Chains A and B, each alone.
Chain A
Amino acid sequence: MNTQEMNPAQPFFNLSARWQSGDKRQPACLSAGCIALFFLLLFAAGYFMNDTGLAVDFLNKKIAPSLHYPFGTDWLGRDMLVRTVKGLCRSLGIGLLAAFCSSIISIALGIMAATLGRKVDLVVSTLVNLVMATPHLVLLILISFACGGGATGVIIAVTVSHWPNLTRIIRAEILQLRESDFVLLSQRFGKTPVWIARHHMLPHVLPQFVIGLILMFPHAILHEAGLTFLGFGLAPHQPSIGILLAESMRHLSTGYWWLAILPGISLVFTVKLFDILGNNFRTILEPRTSQE
């Protein structure tokens, strides 16, 4: 599995040698760990942070970023750092939940299309094409509006519109595996379909699924923010990134740059972290890169 088993002569505590040997797995694990820690801290901060920052305070309104208020305050004197962290947590939570639900639809439909015969495959493929052919934002607005908006509306809309890509990947992967020589050979060894699914299919499909899920997070979060920004998403009394950005639009032209720039950068930063996390997982899970 790792370098020590390959070269028994090499002492396992010699970390620097393992780094120099070009094992890409170590840095990938480290950076994935750091990112996970960051999200943990973010959620902890969002949970334990005092709500006083959200209170209206006209004495301290419209303060530019300073040491006391790193993200500044808005036109009602609310602390933008508190609002950004709380908003990010809320947006992330909703995005994660929606992406998770969506990925469950993906894997169920992908497996059904690949294993239940041509008719089911045709129905699933038509559904995939239908959803993919509709402009994303239009679909999101329609569904969110039809579900009455709010968090439920956003989650349902993002769930319903984000599954087709992953479904296509999983369907293609399973179809390819079913025809591969090593699966046919396993059948000739008298292995049961369940054994083959567990030992031959799962090691291929699971990484695709996990990476697809992680890479779906940023989409879901961005669409959640976009939907809220346009006013079809979350209610405005609780902070979320979409709300912050929408509100700041009215104040941008009057020179309050920090209201839009800082929450915007935090959103881009978070989304980019998910992207890095997805790529690290790919490196860790792929035998070809994990051992080189």
Chain B
Amino acid sequence: MLHAESLFFHYDQGPWILEDTGISILPGEIVGLPGPSGQGKSTLARLLCGYLHPIKGQVSADDKPLPKKSYCPAQLLFQHPELAMNPRRKISQTINEGHACSPDTLRLLGIHPLWLQRYPHELSGGELQRIALARVMGERTRYIVADEMTAMLDANTQALIWEVMLAWARRHRVGVLAISHDLHLLKRVADRIDRRFAD
């Protein structure tokens, strides 16, 4: 279980963004987290994946605190994949950074083998987001936090990405926290919707 209890967080000198916030995601469970911008959804996502550290409180994955130095079982998917890839590394290097990506994953996500020899600026946003997804679809990933993962994409790519990810998550019992402002999308993909930021 990806579990956070009574998290408190603020940036440098700013006001509290999260106060006494808790959330749990079971293995294999798809949780939707809707809400307008500026409420702290992305901050929560970054805390859950270890990109930020809470002022008070703790995040644990399967009863262990998130590791600082080894592979983090909770992985974050960004809204802008082009910022999450080194522009000077080829796609093949990027995609295999966390684990050796299998040809099956590439085929499922419709990633053409020729793309692997290119640099990120030569691919479109949808293509990059598929590569970002393939990059975290490894055995050591137990939870995925998808922060507005498909907000910038067209409907076809959006459908493909969610379909592949949900099938994979169910098969490997990976917990998913889907963050989006699009309630209709979350209703379609999620088992349970957490409305704390929605109202």
Give A residues with C-beta under 8 Å from B: 1, 5-6, 180-182, 184-186, 188-192, 199-200, 203-204, 287-288, 291
Contact = CB atoms under 8 A, between A and B. Distances in A.
Could you tell me the dominant secondary structure of chain B's interface residues?
loop
Nearest to A182: B86
Contacts of A185: 76, 84
B171 interface: no
B121 A182 contact: no
B69 interface: yes
B119 A182 contact: no
A170 to B, nearest CB: 16
Contacts of B88: 203-204, 287
Category for how many chain B residues contact A: 20 to 34
B119 A291 contact: yes
Nearest to A191: B97
B87 A287 contact: yes
A188 B51 contact: yes
Interface string B82-97: 0111111100010001
B87 A189 contact: no
B84 A182 contact: yes
A6 B86 CA distance: 21
Interface in B13-62: 49-51
A182 B83 contact: yes
Contact of A180 (B70, B72, B83): B83
A200 B122 contact: no
Contacts of A199: 86, 89, 93
B119 A188 contact: no
A151 B71 CA distance: 54
Given A203-B88, A204-B88, A189 B117 contact: no
Contact of B70 (A1, A184, A190, A287): A190
A246 to B, nearest CB: 46
Nearest to B122: A291
A77 B101 CA distance: 74
A291 B123 CA distance: 13
A101 to B, nearest CB: 28
